[in-house]
Amino acid sequence: MRDFLIGNGPLVVGALLLIEAIVLACLWREYKRTKKPMILCMALVTAGLLFDGAVILLGRWLPDGLLKALSMGRYLFHGVCMPLLLMISVYALGCKDKVVRGFWIAAAVLMALGAVAGLMTKLNVVDFAGFVRCTGSDATPKWADSYLSTLSVAMVVPLILAGIWLMIKKKGPFLFFSGLFMFAFSALGPATGNIDLIFLIGMIGEALMVLFFLLHARKSAK
């Protein structure tokens, strides 16, 4: 598996981006039809992941300055988009407006901290597995690096918990699977000793997450 990913990384990412682009188009169509804020949040997360993957895929052909500028955007969007997973969970549970407003305040705080952490990330250019991309360097403040890493995992937990509740209520397993696959693939790199490929393995989990977002959105819109 490792040799396949290293040898075919750009092809894998290209296929994942195609899936995400199709999902984004379908989610946007569903949002325009239903005007559900949950679906809008799903579309925004998908758009952020699509941008992230596109910068990684195209990095080899980008001038160094442009690559670093777009990569800073990657970290910024990551810090801002991840708290939307919390709001997707809240909307999926059908919480009352007062509760939703409270969670939006919490999400806004998390987004603001994520934006600051993203902007404070210091970048290194890395050439590996067919990609030229920027990663966080040791010069990044420890709190910023830890916050962004923790945010990636912590915001998936509400998806899983909300998904379990929805399955208990017999409202479908799709939200649960979206969180489960994202969590599992995020952990797969370190668990298999492939920390250097975690960005690529994690992208597979991201594509599966947004695909199940779409399935949940369509089921909830019926």
Q: Quick one: pLDDT at residue 140?
A: 94
| pLDDT value for 127 | 93
Question: Residue 42's pLDDT is what?
Answer: 98
Q: Which domains does the chain have, with CATH numbers?
A: 2-217 (1.20.1070.10)
pTM score of the predicted model = 0.95
Q: Which residues of the chain have pLDDT under 50?
A: none
Q: Looking at residue 193, what is its pLDDT?
A: 78
Long-range CB pairs of 196-201 (<8 Å, 24+ gap) are 196/128, 196/129, 197/2, 197/5, 197/6, 197/129, 199/56, 199/133, 200/5, 200/9, 200/12, 200/13, 200/129, 201/5
